[in-house]
Amino acid sequence: MFRTGIRRCGALARVATSSTKLLSARAAFPASFSGAASVSRSVAPLKSFAQFNRLYSADAAVAEEKTPENAAVGEITAFRDLEAIGVHRNLLDAITQDMRYESMTPVQAKTINPALKGTDIVAQAKTGTGKTIAFLLPLLQRMIEEDPTLATRKAARSARSDDIRGIVLSPTRELAEQIATEAKRLCRRTGLVVQSAVGGTQKSAMLRQTQRQGCHLLVATPGRLNDLLEDPNSGIDAPKLAALVLDEADRMLDVGFEKELNAIQSYLPKDKVRQTMLVSATIPDNVIQLARKMVRPHDFEFVQTIPEHDTLTHDRIPQHVVTVSSWANVFPSLFELVDREVAAAKEDPSLPPFKAIVYFNTTSMVELAGELGYQRRQSGQLRIPTFAIQSQLSQFQRTKAADMFRNSRTGILFSSDVTARGMDFPNVTHVIQVDAPRERESYIHRLGRTGRQDKGGEGWLFVPPMSANSARKLLRGLPLKPNKTLESAEVDLNAVEELPAYHEETKNLIQALPRKLMAGAYTSLFGGQLTDREQLVEDLNDWAVKGWGWPEPPAVSHSWARNQGLLNAGLNIQDGHSERMHRDERRGDRFGGDRRGDRRGGGRFERRASQDPFAEMGRRARRDGPPQQRSRGGRRGGSGGFESSW
């Protein structure tokens, strides 16, 4: 009976999904970004850089917008027109001829213009809207302006590793590599040499290459950059540094890079004016703290591209929330959704091929999902490629998986938060998040892996009951809509005589997996934000016994249970089973970041007493939360919001 139900429901769901997808497909491959494209027109060349500078000081821009003469300047949206105000042709040719971008996106138009005059910048724009070029172009232009010889190819021959002119910092290795690739494309027609320096790779090999080829722009993770700068024998130095960028600035403090950032600051030249840019789609309070520390208080602009009452997510991306009644239903529901969407895309050639990222909060769950995906492919149940990325893999494995997924037309990437920020995988149609994310920002950035460049896509969130309250609080005000089209989501394993098809399949696959892997996944789930941990024990025990077919739940040690405050909660406590769990406990980044656990706070950055130039920025930053603040202020939330409808 249940199987029939699945089939019927599946058909209905296909109809629903198809219509969603048709809408998405229409937005799927636009000629260029909306907004930027719609206002693109030819602009009369500006007479001088000074005129440009004057018009684009932030306050002046607002005031001057009204006059017809200045309105023309405010409308520069074509890259080509930047040549008239001094941007080097070799940079612009790379954009317009090699990359074939003609119009700036709104964040590019709003950021590039003020950034070109050297003002420090804090910029906020939604995910996938072109922030990378928004900071790279002015950064490279500034380097050329300070040393015009860098504009032509022959400058590359005399590049040195101790004369770095620009630094971009990224919180994750994959993102640093991606930014370096984009920067190399922009520099192709110039003499600017770009290098990357990330953890997990051989420092000595990177140093040899940098010493041999030289470096003008270094894209790095903070840990590795600090390591290079503090090593007197590295040969890496930046005495004439023109500009420093912190991409995904808010994440830097989240993953505990505060110490490194302080140290890096201390190695940078003090006797030279440097431009600093902080960029992110989310600007929580810690970015304001970072700005206080890194940005020149009286020469900075806050570039805000998100209208006041807008959400930080894209309206065109539907966000579905599926309440699974037990952890036992998570993988069956996931498989049901994947099969349904793969089939829908195959049936309808107007739809883009199914390409999904599935996010989990812990590395062990990514490992488990990766194995299940692999087994499904082996057994012929799934006919698209699957990949997995989490921080415990070697950097080589991580890079390889990211590259393969990037180049795949279709496929599934199981991932921790290491790919949640900035990663630009083309044509991702679905972002599926399992369990309540640790932070609201995480949810927003993960979702931002789809719907990039104005394309379509959809978001799914699977929430087990024990995380439901924290998910609701965390995501209040976002336009999540309950979705009940997945039959596997509400199965009660205690009430069925025969396991439904997707549950049966999952159980068979799990039985072939190493017990250590399953036990690791089990214990890792106790790390999240849970409202009822004892209920979680009960639910996971049920999953282990009925869903995996184990005679009893995985064993945990007495000390682990005590540390979790769960000595009398029904865990299978046995001595001698502690190793795996203690290892998990010790793993600093089991939640998927590139660094240690959450160390929010950044207490070192002191508040200014009065006349605070950053206070205005704090007011204008679009938080879209945090929830408690929003509810106090009676902000949006409105109809269709997660809170009211779920």
Q: Return the residue of 17, 18, 111, 132 that touches ligand ATP, per CB under 6 A.
A: 132
Beta strand pairing call for 319-323 and 480-482: parallel
Binding segment for ligand ATP (CB under 6 A), chosen from 126-134, 346-354, 564-572, 607-615, is: 126-134
Burial-class residue 493 by CB neighbours within 10 Å (0-12, 13-18, 19+): middle
The only residue of 133, 159, 372, 491 in contact with ligand ATP, by rule CB under 6 A:
133
To the nearest 10 degrees (0 to 180), the angle between helices 222-230 and 203-213 is 70
User: Does 578 interact with ligand ATP (rule: CB under 6 A)?
Assistant: no
Q: Which is nearer to ligand ATP, 75 or 348 (CB)?
A: 75
Q: Does the protein bind ligand ATP through residue 101 (CB under 6 A)?
A: yes
127 binds ligand ATP (CB under 6 A): yes
User: What is the number of alpha carbons within 13 Å of residue 465 lying toward its C-beta?
Assistant: 16
Q: In the structure encoding, which two tokens stand for residue 452, read together?
A: 């990039």
Which residue, 13 or 428, is less far from ligand ATP as judged by CB? 428
Minimum distance, C-beta of residue 320 to ligand ATP, in the bound complex (Å):
21
Q: Does 129 bind ligand ATP (CB under 6 A)?
A: yes
* H or E element at residue 552: none
How many other C-beta atoms are found inside a 10 Å radius of the C-beta of residue 35?
A: 18
> Can you tell me the distance from the alpha carbon of 292 to that of 632, in angstroms, rounded to the nearest whole number?
26
Nearer to ligand ATP, 130 or 284 (CB): 130
Instruction: State the minimum distance, in angstroms, from the CB of residue 7 to ligand ATP.
Output: 38
Say what angle helices 363-378 and 330-347 make with each other, to 10 degrees: 50
456 binds ligand ATP per the rule CB under 6 A: no
Per CB under 6 A, 425 contacts ligand ATP: no
Q: How far is 371 from 586, CA to CA, in rounded Å? A: 23
Point out which span in 131-139, 252-260, 345-353, 362-370 binds ligand ATP (CB under 6 A). Answer: 131-139
* Residues between 467 and 496 that touch ligand ATP (CB under 6 A): none
Q: Is 106 in the site for ligand ATP (CB under 6 A)?
A: no
Q: Helix/strand/coil (H, E, C) string of 414-453?
A: EECHHHCCCCCCCCCCEEEEECCCCCHHHHHHHHCCCCHH
Instruction: By CB under 6 A, tell whether 286 contacts ligand ATP.
Output: no
Element (H, E) at 110: helix 106-116
Q: Which stretch binds ligand ATP (CB under 6 A): 60-68, 121-129, 308-316, 480-488?
A: 121-129
Instruction: Decide if residue 452 touches ligand ATP (CB under 6 A).
Output: yes
- If binding means CB under 6 A, how many residues of this protein chain bind ligand ATP? 21
**Residue 405 in the binding site for ligand ATP (CB under 6 A):** no
- DSSP assignment of 313-332: S-TTS-EEEEE-SSGGGHHH
- How many residues are recorded in the chain? 646
| Tokens of residue 141, six digits | 């232009």
The answer to whether residue 427 forms part of the interface with ligand ATP (CB under 6 A) is no
Instruction: Report how far residue 246's alpha carbon sits from residue 270's, in angstroms, rounded to the nearest whole number.
Output: 18
Which residue in the set 61, 85, 92, 104 belongs to the binding site for ligand ATP (CB under 6 A)?
104
User: What distance, in Å, lies between the first and last C-alpha atoms of the chain?
Assistant: 28
Q: Which amino acid is at 139?
A: L
Which of 145, 424, 439, 505 lies at the binding interface for ligand ATP (CB under 6 A)? 424
> With binding defined as CB under 6 A, does residue 305 bind ligand ATP?
no
User: How many CA within 13 A on the CB side of residue 369?
Assistant: 30
> In whole angstroms, how close is the CB of 420 to ligand ATP at the nearest point?
9
Q: What are phi and psi of 88, to 5 degrees?
A: -65, 135
Residues 236-255 that bind ligand ATP (CB under 6 A): none
Q: Classify the phi-psi angles of 601: left when phi > 0, otherwise alpha if psi is within -120 to 50, otherwise beta.
A: left
422 is an interface residue for ligand ATP by CB under 6 A: yes
Catalogue the E-assigned strands of 495-612. 555-556, 572-573
Cβ closer to ligand ATP: 337 or 431? 431
Provide, rounded to whole angstroms, the least separation between the CB of residue 204 and ligand ATP: 31
Give yes or no for a cis peptide into 114 (omega within 30° of 0). no
What is the smallest separation between the CB atom of 232 and ligand ATP, expressed in angstroms?
35
- Confirm or reject binding of residue 453 to ligand ATP (CB under 6 A): yes
Strands 194-197 and 555-556: unpaired
Interface segment toward ligand ATP; rule CB under 6 A; list 102-110, 315-323, 370-378, 556-564: 102-110
Residue 527 in 3-state DSSP?
helix
Nearer to ligand ATP, 125 or 368 (CB): 125
* Contact region with ligand ATP (CB under 6 A), list: 104-112, 164-172, 394-402, 553-561: 104-112
Candidate segments 125-133, 227-235, 351-359, 381-389, binder of ligand ATP by CB under 6 A: 125-133
The answer to whether residue 448 forms part of the interface with ligand ATP (CB under 6 A) is yes
Contacts of residue 203, Cβ cutoff 8 Å, sequence gap at least 6: 197, 224, 227, 228
Nearer to ligand ATP, 130 or 500 (CB): 130
Q: Segment near ligand ATP (CB under 6 A), from 100-108, 304-312, 524-532, 620-628?
A: 100-108
Residue 105 as a binder of ligand ATP (CB under 6 A): the answer is: yes
Q: How far is the CB of 40 from ligand ATP (least distance, A)?
A: 10
Residue 405 tokens, joined? 């997924």
State which residue, 29 or 396, has the beta carbon closest to ligand ATP: 29
Does 78 contact ligand ATP by CB under 6 A? no
Compute the distance between CA of residue 43 and CA of residue 80 in angstroms, rounded to an integer: 10
**Contacts (Cβ under 8 Å, ≥6 apart) of 204:** none
Binding mask 28-47 for ligand ATP (x = CB under 6 A): ----xx--------------
Binding region for ligand ATP (CB under 6 A): 32-33, 101, 103-105, 108, 125, 127-133, 281, 422, 424, 448, 452-453
